[in-house]
Amino acid sequence: MSAVQNKPETHEPLTPAMFHVLLALAGDDLHGYAILKEVELRTGGKVRLSTGTLYGIIKRLLSDGLIAELRSRPAESEDDERRRYYRLTPAGRQVAATEAERMDEVLSIARSRNLLKRTRTA
Amino acid sequence: MAAKDSHATRFYRALLRLLPFDFRGDFGPEMETVFHEQHKEAGRRGGATGVLRLWWETIVGIFRTAPGEHLAMFAQDARFALRMMRKNPGYTLAAVLTLGLGIGANSAIFSVVNAVLLKPLPYEHGDRLVTLQQQAPRAGMLNQPFSVAEINDYRTQSHSLDGLVEYHNMNFILLGRSEPERVETGVVSWNYFEVFGVKPLFGRAFRPEDEQPGAPAVLMLSYEYWIRSFGGDPTVVNKTFTMNDKLHKVVGILPPVPQYPDENDVYMPTTACPFRSRPAFIANRQSRMMQVFGRMKPGITVSQSRADLNSIAANLQRAYPNDYPPALDYSIRTSSLEEELTHNARPTMLVLLGAAGFVLLIACANVANLNLARMVRRERELAVRAALGAGRVRMFRQLLTESSLLAVIGGGLGLLFSWGALNLLVGFAARFTPRAREIHLDSTVLLFTLAVAVLTSLLSGTAPALAARDTVVDGLKEGSAQSTIGIGRRRMRSLLIVAQVAVSFLLLIGAGLMLRSFVKLQHVDPGFQPENVLTMQIGLDFTKYNTNDKQRAFFETFLDKLQSESGVKSAAASMMVPLNGNMQMRGDFQIEGQTPVPGQVLPVADFRVVSEGYFDTLHIPLLEGRAFTRTDRPGAPDVAIVNRAAARHFWGAQDPVGKRFSTDGGKTWVQIAGVVGDVKQYGLDKDAVDEIYVPLAQSPLLDAVLVVKTTVEPTSVARGIIELLYAVDPNQPAARVRSMEQVRAESVAAPRLTSNLLSLFALLALTIAATGIGGVMALAVGQRRHEIGVRMAIGARPGEILRMILGQGMALALVGIVLGLLGALALTRVLQRLLFEVGPTDPLTFVGVAAVLSAATLLACYVPARRAARVDPIVALRVE
């Protein structure tokens, strides 16, 4: 099996949902349900992923090498053996960062055009 | 609660089935867990609304995800399949070509079936149109036309029709162009096209005032004539042309619709026909010349309409007993126009579609076999893939993707084939139906081709995919000798070979029967000699040659001049030429000495007008008495010549020469001067009818066929004869210039083309099956090299090995032939209607086909068998 070289700039554009999943995993290694909860929490319930959408995204991110499945499992008592944990790869981190920077640039343009009422402190 | 949860889980699991197998395999259990938790929480926090919302979001999410995942899976499979195809170009080429031919044959024939048999008539009211015919079966009259009085009666009295229109054909002469031109003209009621539901492409249709006596002469151009003669120029509308003695104005151009009963160049209203307009003609209820079409009121069936029209017929018979002798038992035959236009084509087209289907089956079997053969070489690869976790469904899907790719490429190739064959097909179908010009590769044909391709991929892909199952199990077994695995697969291969041979046998029988039938048709004695005879149609200008004397004078002058033309041996004019029979002049007569009994049917025969040299020119033998001579003129006693069939039928053992008959109830008598041989007027496959010939000098003709016996190749003198015609009358055109051999060939064109097509299919089948059987034997030999080596090492001679391999191949072929024979015995009955003097179980054909098929398979097996016999035991044993 030949290793696929993952260059962030060659990827297809991230969908907002994919970006959210990457953001969720940027903090911690999470299992599927936790990703859903995290995304919902961070967006104040505005983004709710369904299982179909989530695992479609996970499959994409896995095959693009942006996330990886964890081999070692947390030894917590509540660990369900059917759960799998995912972690952001360095490539995934870079893609997420690139996307965040791109958005930041867009935001500063929007600010300079007075399109944003409140400016949040970074 | 637990029960409710498991309900939800089960439903969710069912929902997951929408996702590709692999996806489910990878994430299914995990998704279930996640959903389970979501479900719990939704219930806890949002109650029933929360659960409903979750379900809604989940269902939408799955439906959004599934198509993309399936597509991605297919793309991956397709990429892999294409790579496999590139790695095996020989296999790919063989499979694509085989499928292309199989699919192409089907889409080509289907394009004909679709246009001719499936699509509704391209008239707006196509499904409500009927043809009407008067019939008096007891007098042998099955399709009598109508008179003006009858048309008026049926039109006004019918309750089932909301339109009734008439049609007859005549010819005009178009003048003012470089040469005079015969223009075939349909003479119709003013509302003819309105009743059919045909709107003009340009200009207008006829109006009631166009059909008034004395109205300015108008005409509509048929689409084909407009394209052919005016290059499709729409400005021709409103232009005037001199036809015969009058200016005619073009008022409209018809769209491309099937023309029935004749292909006409132009259409005119009934008042354009001087014969149809004569008061005496209109007054005579027995002047029957016109065909009639009706449009049924909405909701009326053909049989309801028939009942309605027959009650009118019964009333008319009571009212006019002289015009409808009770003995003749007149009635009305009604059939749907659609049926009328297509019934000739139906049996042939369905047989061809069946044959094409068989070809496709053989192609599928062959590709399945190729796949199975390849499977042997791919055993390792498939087993490795299985070991790496590719599920059975996954492998099945991969193999089906490969076969559908092949089928789609084959389908594309097939479409190319049928596109290339389209013009030939239109020409072929035109022999059977006026609907041929509707044949196109339209969306229905494309859809059909796609469906056939899908079916093909299933048929050719399933067998190897099923066989892949034992591969998964057996393929990796340590040291599994190739001869021990896949016994089921080998049996499947044998089965496919047997099926191919059996179906090939069926097709060969079909083709063989058609060919035998055609050869028999070719050897029918037509009763005349077609060699070195030129024919051309000369329709006199009816306005100029408006008396018997003028018509007679024209033909006498012209024929006299012709006799001295170089290359001409003899010449004559006739009402029609043999084998081209569509013009019937059927009439009854009274034989002298037989007093007609009131209520009894009089003898009926076909009357033909011929000039004096006719029998000589066509070498129709004079059996008794004399032929017509110069002395048979007006004023001299009326004479006739009967054919042998009429002589036997009406005069029995007596010599008819010198006997007399009357066609006008005994007012005048015609004496029989001679008896000539029977001639096939209506086709080589039709029996000769009773015929009475009368001399042209005594009953002149307007529209005649010139027949010229030449001493040279007949068409080479055509131009000279036409110049001679112009010398007699520069405004008199000749049309349909053909040699009698051409007339004869055209009369059997339909069966010839049908047997050619069937032979092509059969040959295709034979080739595919033979290469298939050869390929399978070659593979078997390759796999058994070791075994053969052992046999030879322990003393088997090459000859024995050769015989062993041949024997095994031929055993399969033999089983196929026996099965095919049984199938043929059951199936060839459908060919019966297409066959001439050959039974559907003709022993000679069956034996011949069995021999051909055996020889072909023997040859196909011989190559691998010889290779087997040349196996060097030392090399073969060392290989393992």
DSSP A23-77: HHHHHS-EEHHHHHHHHHHHTTTS----HHHHHHHHHHHHHTTSEEE-SS----T
Higher pLDDT pick, B516 / B787: B516
Q: Which amino acid is at B574?
A: S
**Which residues, at least 6 apart from B388, have a Cβ–Cβ distance to it below 8 Å?**
none
Looking at the domain assignment, is residue B742 inside a domain? no
Measured CA to CA in angstroms, residue B791 lies from B362, B487, B787, B873 at distances of: 34, 21, 6, 8
Distance CA B521, CA B752 (A): 10
Q: Comparing A54-68, B463-477, B598-612, B676-690, which segment has the lowest mean pLDDT?
A: B463-477
Q: How many Cβ contacts (< 8 angstroms) between chains A and B? A: 59
- Is residue B232 domain-shared with residue B360, that is, in the same domain? no
Number of helices followed by number of strands (H, E) in chain A: 4, 3
Say if CB A39 and CB A24 are below 8 A apart. Answer: yes
pLDDT at B316: 93
* Domain span including residue B513: 346-523+749-879
User: Using 50, 70 and 90 to split pLDDT, how confident is the model at B544?
Assistant: very high
Residue B99 lies in a domain: no
Residues B280 and B596: their CA atoms lie apart, in Å, by 27
Q: What percent of chain A has pLDDT over 70?
A: 76
pLDDT exceeds 90 at position B233: yes
pLDDT of residue B869: 85
Radius of gyration of chain A (CA): 16
Residue B463 has pLDDT above 80, yes or no: no
Q: Is B122 among the domain residues? A: no
Supply the pLDDT for residue B480. 45
CB contact under 8 A, A33 and B66: no
For residue B269, pLDDT over 90 is answered with yes
For B120: left if phi > 0, alpha if psi spans -120 to 50, otherwise beta; the answer is beta
B476 plus B545 within the same structural domain: no
| Domain stops at, among B342, B375, B402 | B342
Cα B506 from chain centroid?
Answer: 20
Q: Using alpha carbons only, how large is chain B's radius of gyration in Å?
A: 37
B74 CA: distance to closest CA in chain A (Å): 16
What pLDDT, on the 0 to 100 scale, is given for residue B92?
86
Burial class (CB in 10 A: 0-12, 13-18, 19+), B476: middle
> Chain A 15-44, CB below 8 Å of chain B: which residues?
32-33, 36
Q: State the smallest CA–CA distance between residue B48 and chain A in angstroms.
A: 18
| Of B1-15, B294-308, B420-434, the least confident | B1-15
Contacts 24+ apart (CB under 8 A), B303-307: B304/B160, B305/B130, B305/B158, B305/B160, B305/B161, B305/B334, B306/B332, B306/B333, B306/B334
* B27 interaction partners in chain A (CB closer than 8 Å): 55, 58-59
Chain B residue closest in CA terms to A53: B61
Alpha carbon B485 to its chain centroid, in Å, reads 49
DSSP state for residue B581 in the 8-state scheme? -
Residues paired with B704 in a beta bridge: B538
- State whether B512 and B631 are in the same domain: no
What CA–CA distances, in Å, run from B594 to B587, B590, B650? 17, 7, 11
Distance CA B631, CA B64 (A): 96
Q: Is the sign of the CA dihedral B819, B825, B830, B831 positive or negative?
A: positive
> In a 10 Å sphere around its CB, with 0-12 CB exposed, 13-18 middle and 19+ buried, how is residue A52 labelled?
buried
Say if A67 is an interface residue toward chain B (CB within 8 Å): no
At residue B483, the pLDDT reads 41
Query: Exposure pattern of B53-80 as b/e (b: 16+ CB <10 Å)?
Result: ebbebbbebbeebbeebeebbeeebbee
The answer to whether residues B398 and B439 belong to one domain is yes
Question: Above 90 in pLDDT, residue B384?
Answer: no
Q: What per-residue confidence (pLDDT) applies to B236?
A: 95
Q: CB distance from A50 to chain B under 8 Å?
A: yes
Mean pLDDT across chain A? 81
B697, B754: one domain:
no
Say whether pLDDT at B470 is over 60.
Answer: no
Mean pLDDT of B746-769: 91
**Strand spans (E) along B38-81:** none
Q: ipTM surpassing 0.85, yes or no? A: no
Task: Return the DSSP state at B716.
Answer: G
How large a percentage of chain B has pLDDT more than 70? Answer: 94
| Co-location of B753 and B718 in the same domain | no
Q: What is the pTM of this model?
A: 0.81
Q: Give the model confidence (pLDDT) of B164-174 as tens digits.
A: 999 999 999 99
Q: Are residues B513 and B547 in the same domain?
A: no
Mutate to test the interface with B, among A51, A53, A63, A73 (most CBs of B within 10 A): A51
Whether A69 contacts chain B with CB within 8 A? no
CB contact under 8 A, B63 and A52: yes
Query: For residue B83, is it within any domain?
Result: no
Q: What is the mean pLDDT of residues B301-311?
A: 94
| Closest approach of B19 to chain A, Cα-based (Å) | 9
Average pLDDT over chain B, rounded to an integer: 89
Confidence band of B271 (pLDDT split at 50, 70, 90):
very high
SS3 breakdown of chain B: % helix, strand, coil, rounded to 5?
A: 60, 15, 25
Are residue B675 and residue B627 in the same domain, yes or no? Answer: yes
Domain-located, residue B91: no
For residue B659, pLDDT over 70 is answered with yes
Min Cα separation A90/chain B (Å): 23
Q: Residue B623: which pLDDT band, with cuts at 50, 70 and 90?
A: very high
Tell me which amino acid residue A9 is.
E
Tens digits of residue pLDDT in B558-572:
999 999 899 999 999
Q: Nearest residue of A to residue B58 by CA position?
A: A50
Q: pLDDT tens digit string along A57-70?
A: 999 999 889 999 88
Q: Is A79 on the interface with B (CB under 8 A)?
A: no
Whose tokens are 């040859």? That residue is B859
Residue B105 belongs to a domain:
no
Who wins on pLDDT, B197 or B463? Answer: B197
User: Residue B532: inside a domain, yes or no?
Assistant: no
- Per-residue pLDDT at B471 exceeds 70: no
Partner residue facing B58 (CB), from A33, A50, A83 = A50
**pLDDT > 50? residue A7:** no
Closest among A30, A92, A98, A23 to A62, alpha carbons compared: A92
Single out the residue in B327, B342, B357 at which a domain terminates.
Answer: B342
Q: What is the pLDDT of residue B602?
A: 83
Least trusted range by pLDDT, from A68-82, B82-96, B206-220: A68-82
Do residues B461 and B334 both lie within one domain? Answer: no
pLDDT at B593: 87
B717 contacts B568 by C-beta, under 8 angstroms: yes
Q: Quote the percentage of chain B above a pLDDT of 90.
A: 57
CA-nearest residue to A79 within chain B is B33
Q: What's the structural domain count of chain B?
A: 4
Q: Do B643 and B510 have their domain in common?
A: no
Decide: helix, strand or coil at residue A7. Answer: coil
Band (pLDDT 50/70/90 cuts) for residue A11 is low
pLDDT for B63 equals: 92
Domains of chain A, each with CATH number or no CATH:
14-74+81-112 (1.10.10.10)
Q: Based on the domain organization, do B761 and B711 belong to the same domain?
A: no
Residue B587: beta bridge partners? B605
Residue of A50, A69, A73, A85 best to disrupt the B interface, most CBs of B under 10 A: A50
User: Looking at the structure, do residues B825 and B769 belong to the same domain, yes or no?
Assistant: yes
Domain end marker among B77, B109, B135:
B77
List CB contacts (< 8 A) between B26 and chain A. 59
- pLDDT value at B485 more than 50: no
The verdict on whether omega for the bond into residue B261 sits within 30 degrees of 0, i.e. cis, is yes
Strands B161-175 vs B291-296: parallel, antiparallel or unpaired? antiparallel
Whether B691 is in a domain gets the answer yes
The secondary element (H helix, E strand) that includes residue B533 is strand B533-539
B301: left (phi over 0), alpha (psi -120 to 50) or beta: beta
Q: Please, what is the Cα angle at B780 between B94 and B410, to 5 degrees?
A: 15
Closest CA to B165 of B151, B175, B176: B151
For residue B856, give the amino acid letter: A
Where would I find the H helices in B237-345?
Answer: 274-277, 279-283, 302-319, 337-342
Angle at CA of residue B714, ends B709 and B719, nearest 5° = 110
| B665: three-class secondary structure by DSSP | coil
Across residues B800-817, what is the average pLDDT? 89
pLDDT at residue number A80: 63
Higher pLDDT, B12 or B394: B12
Does the CA dihedral B578-B581-B585-B586 come out positive or negative?
positive
